[in-house]
């Protein structure tokens, strides 16, 4: 490679790893054989690149997952344990390492690195500068648009809606929406992901010539609430999606599933526009393109919505890397366990920079280039939930790609065989105690020691 690659990182919010345009065989293995999605642009990335079926979020909630990604560290090392904590800019990011090596680092959309402040200023605030961005237009997410406006300091998206005369209608719709699948009042041009895409195309055209660049486009969807425009809703007419697993409200859930699919398919269309802009810039052949999400969405499975849960719907994420122009294999499908923050090491590796040692972030390049079938033996997802009942509500999940152990304070361990039971309906823990114990011991082996590990050891004691 004579020239360092550019990177276009397309990053959605709350996109479940099952809801992708996989081949029928893959969909059958995931239990979603009848799930059909119109996503030609992401499918083209999959055909040209590598698709990771075993990718998980290190912490299935917005700010912590994105802090893990930025720092290249697992949850207990990223210093952001909840959405109420800002990123600590003294902790080095892969963004800053790229910038310091000569990359022009930029991005648009919802970064959630300073979510706790509910302050976005003009989108290029101190947190974006401190984490390594040369240019940025960081905007608030869906409900944060409402809270920031209510606090008197709307972010870039809220300010745009306010200037256009739509902020109060947006606020009222968001506050009463809940799980409604009715269309939102916004015209298409003001819809968040459409607006983010326009900003992304504009930023892409403004990148200076000469230096390599990294650009991250953060979509607001398909995060709840499931607001879609009238035109998006009409496009779902007659579409039927598979019922959620173990769901007591499948009839009501069907409309929500239509809206969820509409948001994903809209993101795919916007990705097409960004790729067209990249072609017009003449840099498609020197750009690695990545698609992923911070965490998943339960989408009615087991009667649940949302994230922050140990189930697959919450922790399983999509991940596609198209490095076909830099030695990457085309049409590769890998089911080994990987974690979102492995992208940090992967970007650094392709940029020709040293990759940090340890288990926090591991480069996926050997898999992308078909030189290895796995780079991790296990993937971990975990979350500390600070509620009145205390840290006993926290969970830790470990998986080897087939078996998945879930540990939750105050509850018995649960073990599932994802190859035969992708929706985790049959707990094998009572039948396979030796495997439960082996995976439980592996959790502590996987961690770099720090004081929080001691608390986890108390929550999830290892039998002797």
pLDDT tens column, 295-326:
999 999 999 999 999 999 999 999 999 999 99
Averaged pLDDT for residues 163-174: 98
pLDDT bin (cut points 50, 70, 90) of residue 451 is low
CA–CA separation, 13 and 218 (whole Å): 8
Which residue has 């078996």 as its token pair? 403
Nearest one of 115, 9, 121, 108 to 62, comparing CA atoms: 115
CA–CA separation, 212 and 98 (whole Å): 9
Averaged pLDDT for residues 222-244: 96
Could you tell me what percent of the chain has a pLDDT over 90? 90
How much is the pLDDT for 358? 83
CA–CA separation, 192 and 141 (whole Å): 9
- For residues 286-298, one letter each, b for 16 or more C-beta atoms within 10 angstroms of the residue's C-beta and e for the rest, the string is bbbbbbbbbbbbb
Peptide bond into 225 cis (omega under 30): yes
Measuring CA to CA, how many Å separate 72 from each of 25, 80, 212, 232, 282? 32, 13, 21, 36, 31
- For residues 325-355, one letter each, b for 16 or more C-beta atoms within 10 angstroms of the residue's C-beta and e for the rest, the string is bbebbeebebbbbbbbbbbbbbbbbbbebeb
Averaged pLDDT for residues 223-230: 97
For residue 1, is pLDDT > 80?
no
What is the tens place of the pLDDT at every residue in 328-340?
Answer: 999 999 999 999 9
pLDDT bin (cut points 50, 70, 90) of residue 460 is low
How much is the pLDDT for 356? 86
Within a 10 A sphere around the Cβ of 364, how many other Cβ atoms?
Answer: 30
For residue 346, is pLDDT > 70?
yes
Strand positions, DSSP E, 126-193: 135-138
What is the tens place of the pLDDT at every residue in 91-150?
Answer: 999 999 999 999 999 999 999 999 999 999 999 999 999 999 999 999 999 999 999 999
For residue 455, is pLDDT > 90?
no
For residue 280, is pLDDT > 70?
yes
- For residues 400-419, one letter each, b for 16 or more C-beta atoms within 10 angstroms of the residue's C-beta and e for the rest, the string is bbebbbbbbbeeebbbbebe
Burial grade of 180 (CB within 10 A; 0-12, 13-18, 19 or more): middle
The structure tokens listed for 90 are: 């003294």
pTM, 2 dp: 0.95
How much is the pLDDT for 264? 98
Domain boundary assignment for the chain:
6-375, 380-459
Measuring CA to CA, how many Å separate 197 from each of 192, 224, 276? 9, 19, 12
Strand positions, DSSP E, 110-206: 135-138
pLDDT bin (cut points 50, 70, 90) of residue 388 is low
Decide: 365 and 344 in contact? Cβ < 8 Å: no
Alpha helix positions (H), 212-249 = 230-234
Task: Provide the mean pLDDT of the chain.
Answer: 94
Decide: 133 and 243 in contact? Cβ < 8 Å: no
How much is the pLDDT for 464? 31
* CATH class of domain segment(s) 380-459: alpha beta
Which residue has 């300073």 as its token pair? 114
CATH of region 6-375: 3.40.720.10
Per CATH, 6-375 and 380-459 having the same topology is answered no
For residue 377, is pLDDT > 60?
yes
What is the tens place of the pLDDT at every residue in 348-365?
Answer: 999 999 998 888 999 999
């Amino acid at each position: 490679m004579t020239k360092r690659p550019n990177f276009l990182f397309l990053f959605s919010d709350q996109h479940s790893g099952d809801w992708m345009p996989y081949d029928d065989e893959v969909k059958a293995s995931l239990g979603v054989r009848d799930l059909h999605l119109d996503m030609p642009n992401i499918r083209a990335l999959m055909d040209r690149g590598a698709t990771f079926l075993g990718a998980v979020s290190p912490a299935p909630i917005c700010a912590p997952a994105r802090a893990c990604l930025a720092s290249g560290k697992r949850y207990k090392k990223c210093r952001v344990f909840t959405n109420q904590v800002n990123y600590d800019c003294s902790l080095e990011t892969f963004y800053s390492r790229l910038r310091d090596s000569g990359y022009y680092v930029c991005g648009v959309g919802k970064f959630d690195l300073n979510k706790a402040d509910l302050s976005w200023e003009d989108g290029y605030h101190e947190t974006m500068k401190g984490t390594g961005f040369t240019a940025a237009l960081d905007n608030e997410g869906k409900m944060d648009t409402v809270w920031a406006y209510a606090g008197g300091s709307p972010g870039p998206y809220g300010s745009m809606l306010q200037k256009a005369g739509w902020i109060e209608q947006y606020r009222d719709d968001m506050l009463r929406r809940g799980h409604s699948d009715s269309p939102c009042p916004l015209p298409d041009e003001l819809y968040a992901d459409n607006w983010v895409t326009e900003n992304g195309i504009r930023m892409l055209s403004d990148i200076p010539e000469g230096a390599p660049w990294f650009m991250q486009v953060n979509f607001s969807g398909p995060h709840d609430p499931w607001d879609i425009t009238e035109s998006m809703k009409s496009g779902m007419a007659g579409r039927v999606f598979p019922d959620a697993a173990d769901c007591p409200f499948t009839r009501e859930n069907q409309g929500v599933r239509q809206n969820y699919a509409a948001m994903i398919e809209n993101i795919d269309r916007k990705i097409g526009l960004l790729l067209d802009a990249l072609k017009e810039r003449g840099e498609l052949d020197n750009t690695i393109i990545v698609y992923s999400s911070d965490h998943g969405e339960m989408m009615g499975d087991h009667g649940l919505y949302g994230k922050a849960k140990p189930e697959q719907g919450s922790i399983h994420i999509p991940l596609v890397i198209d490095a076909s122009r830099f030695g990457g294999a085309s049409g590769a499908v890998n089911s080994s366990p990987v974690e979102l923050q492995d992208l940090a090491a992967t970007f650094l590796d392709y940029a020709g920079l040293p990759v940090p040692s340890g288990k926090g972030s591991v480069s996926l390049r050997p898999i992308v280039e078909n030189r290895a079938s796995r780079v991790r033996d296990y993937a971990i997802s975990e979350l500390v939930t600070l509620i009145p009942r205390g840290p006993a509500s926290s969970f830790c999940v470990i998986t080897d790609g087939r078996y998945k152990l879930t540990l939750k304070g105050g509850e018995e361990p649960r073990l599932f065989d994802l190859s035969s039971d992708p929706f985790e309906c049959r707990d094998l823990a009572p039948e396979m105690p030796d495997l439960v114990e082996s995976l439980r011991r592996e959790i502590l082996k996987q961690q770099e020691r720090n004081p929080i590990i001691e608390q986890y050891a108390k929550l999830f004691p290892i039998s002797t």
